[in-house]
């Protein structure tokens, strides 16, 4: 299959791209689209055959459910129902954070095909704030299933070029609207008797959610509800360890790359990528997956990723780094090599 890439760099180009994307989606095909978090691989969420093509292109196991993206919040009732206990909380979150990078896990309606929810009785939903995604979702007029547009287990794409490298030849179209804003995937929460279970940390932080309800952290390892919670996710091919970017002499023979938080003390590395010289967590999140891909391409023996400060977005970044890390000591404090 030839993969077409359409850029949205003029008003005419945008019109053309929207029309072509909608045409393919209506025909039951997959299309890679920009969102404000990462690029997604979209298909008609209410068409089981179309959704199945997402799993095939990504080589995603069928047990891993997809996020359903609505064109607007009014469509929520078509795919999900909210029980009385949680309805006030869910409405408050929707009012505050939609459109935006918050995914809600809610009881599903029968309209959603089993393949989309992987047979679960819940469905994950959000409304994207990306202008191009919104245009396409509105023109399509129906929910779109869209996981991140990478092969299963790999780093999520934050540019159309990343998507091309992951899925070229497997999907008919990539819509290119430049790099994504947040750079990490949406926050996922489920309501549990009036409180919130954080299933995946993301751009909407635990602190922001705590203004609405008690928040508990999903039990990832013991009970993986979301395969995005599995430890070995978002992995570069090069081994990655968490540590402090100090080189000792016994490592000099190896080509070691550094993923540095602010760029201090990273002398002696074969390659260095700095997440945010000014120490801005938002900038760091936006750069994270691009920097990881660049280091992964640099023919290194090892990548050392420096800790970023925990709390707020820092926790979402550390979550991704821990999953990318090949060391078993996922939660050990910073150590130097
Ligand atoms: O920012 C994002 O969320 C991006 C963009 C494209 O919207 N999408 C994304 O999708 O990251 P994906 O499939 O890569 O990650 C979705 C996660 C998976 O870990 C999946 O297991 C979880 O959401 N998920 C989906 N439905 C679920 C459900 N009913 N209950 C619990 N987890 C669910
Ligand atoms: Mg993903």
Determine which helix (DSSP H) or strand (DSSP E) holds 218, and give its type and residue range.
none
Ligand 1 site residues (CB inside 6 A) read 35, 37-38, 40, 64-67, 101, 103, 105, 117, 120, 122-124, 146-148, 185-186, 188, 199, 225-228
Nearest CA to ligand 1 atom 15: 147
Contact 231/327 with Cβ under 8 angstroms?
no
Closest alpha carbon to 228 in 201, 208, 206, 205: 201
Please identify, by atom number, the ligand 1 atom nearest to the C-alpha of residue 36. Answer: 1
pLDDT at 271 exceeding the cut of 50: yes
Q: What single DSSP character describes residue 29?
A: -
- Tell me the CA–centroid distance for residue 75 and ligand 1, in Å: 19
Mean pLDDT is lowest, of 205-209, 230-234, 261-265, 316-320, for 230-234
pLDDT at 177 exceeding the cut of 70: yes
- Closest ligand to C-alpha of residue 200 is 1
Pick 230 or 205 by higher pLDDT. 205
Query: How confident is the model over 231-251, as a mean pLDDT?
Result: 73
Looking up tokens 């007029």, which residue turns up? Answer: 141
Mean pLDDT of the chain: 91
Closest alpha carbon to 213 in 186, 194, 190: 194
Please identify, by atom number, the ligand 1 atom nearest to the C-alpha of residue 185. Answer: 1
Q: Identify the bridge partners of residue 196 per DSSP, sorted by sequence position.
A: 191, 215
Q: What single DSSP character describes residue 244?
A: B
pLDDT on residue 117: 97
pLDDT on residue 245: 58
8's CB contacts (< 8 A; 6+ apart) are 14, 17, 132, 175, 176, 177
Could you give the maximum distance between any two Cα atoms of the chain, in Å?
62
pLDDT at 218 exceeding the cut of 90: no
Determine which helix (DSSP H) or strand (DSSP E) holds 260, and give its type and residue range.
strand 256-260
Pick 326 or 153 by higher pLDDT. 153
In terms of DSSP bridges, do strands 173-176 and 187-192 run parallel, antiparallel, or are they unpaired? unpaired
Please identify, by atom number, the ligand 1 atom nearest to the C-alpha of residue 128. Answer: 7
Number of H helices, E strands in the chain: 10, 15
Query: How confident is the model over 120-143, as a mean pLDDT?
Result: 98
pTM: 0.93
pLDDT on residue 246: 61
In testing the pocket of ligand 1, which one of 67, 99, 152, 175 has its CB within 8 Å of the most ligand atoms? 67
- Closest ligand to C-alpha of residue 226 is 1
- Tell me the CA–centroid distance for residue 146 and ligand 2, in Å: 9
Per-residue pLDDT tens over the stretch 24-48: 999 999 999 999 999 999 999 999 9
pLDDT on residue 307: 95
- Tell me the CA–centroid distance for residue 7 and ligand 2, in Å: 23
pLDDT at 7 exceeding the cut of 60: yes
Contact 331/322 with Cβ under 8 angstroms?
yes
pLDDT on residue 44: 98
- Tell me the CA–centroid distance for residue 247 and ligand 2, in Å: 33
Residue 84's pLDDT band (cuts 50, 70, 90): confident
Please identify, by atom number, the ligand 1 atom nearest to the C-alpha of residue 37. Answer: 1
Query: How confident is the model over 92-120, as a mean pLDDT?
Result: 98
pLDDT on residue 160: 98
pLDDT on residue 165: 97
pLDDT on residue 233: 65
pLDDT at 255 exceeding the cut of 70: yes
Residue 243's pLDDT band (cuts 50, 70, 90): confident
277's CB contacts (< 8 A; 6+ apart) are 262, 263
């Amino acid at each position: 299959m030839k993969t077409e890439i359409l850029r949205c760099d003029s008003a005419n180009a945008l019109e053309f791209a929207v029309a072509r994307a909608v045409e393919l989606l209506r025909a039951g095909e997959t299309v890679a689209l920009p969102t404000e978090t990462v690029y997604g691989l979209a298909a008609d969420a209410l068409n089981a055959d179309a959704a199945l093509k997402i799993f095939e292109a990504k080589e995603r196991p069928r047990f891993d459910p997809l996020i359903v993206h609505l064109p607007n919040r009014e469509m929520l009732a078509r795919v999900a129902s909210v029980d009385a206990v949680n309805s006030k909380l869910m409405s408050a979150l929707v009012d505050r954070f939609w459109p935006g990078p918050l995914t809600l896990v809610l009881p599903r309606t029968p309209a959603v095909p089993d393949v989309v929810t992987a047979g679960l009785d819940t469905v994950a939903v959000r409304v994207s704030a990306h202008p191009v995604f919104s245009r396409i979702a509105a023109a399509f007029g129906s929910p779109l299933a869209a996981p991140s547009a990478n092969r299963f287990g790999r780093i999520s794409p934050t540019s159309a070029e990343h998507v091309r490298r992951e899925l070229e030849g497997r999907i008919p179209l990539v819509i290119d609207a430049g790099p994504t804003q947040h750079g990490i995937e949406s926050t996922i929460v489920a309501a549990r008797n009036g409180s919130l279970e954080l299933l995946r940390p993301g751009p909407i932080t635990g602190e922001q959610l705590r203004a609405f309800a008690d928040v508990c952290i999903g039990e990832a390892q013991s009970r993986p509800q979301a395969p995005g919670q599995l430890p070995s996710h978002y992995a570069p091919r090069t081994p990655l360890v968490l540590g402090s970017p100090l080189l000792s002499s016994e490592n000099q023979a190896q080509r070691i790359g550094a993923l540095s938080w602010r760029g201090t003390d990273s002398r002696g590395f074969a390659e260095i990528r700095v997440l945010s010289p000014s120490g801005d967590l938002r900038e760091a999140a936006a750069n994270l997956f691009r920097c990881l891909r660049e280091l992964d391409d640099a023919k290194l023996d090892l990548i050392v990723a420096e800790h970023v400060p925990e709390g707020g977005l820092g926790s979402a970044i550390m979550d991704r780094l821990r999953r990318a890390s090949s060391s078993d000591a996922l939660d050990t404090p910073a150590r130097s090599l």
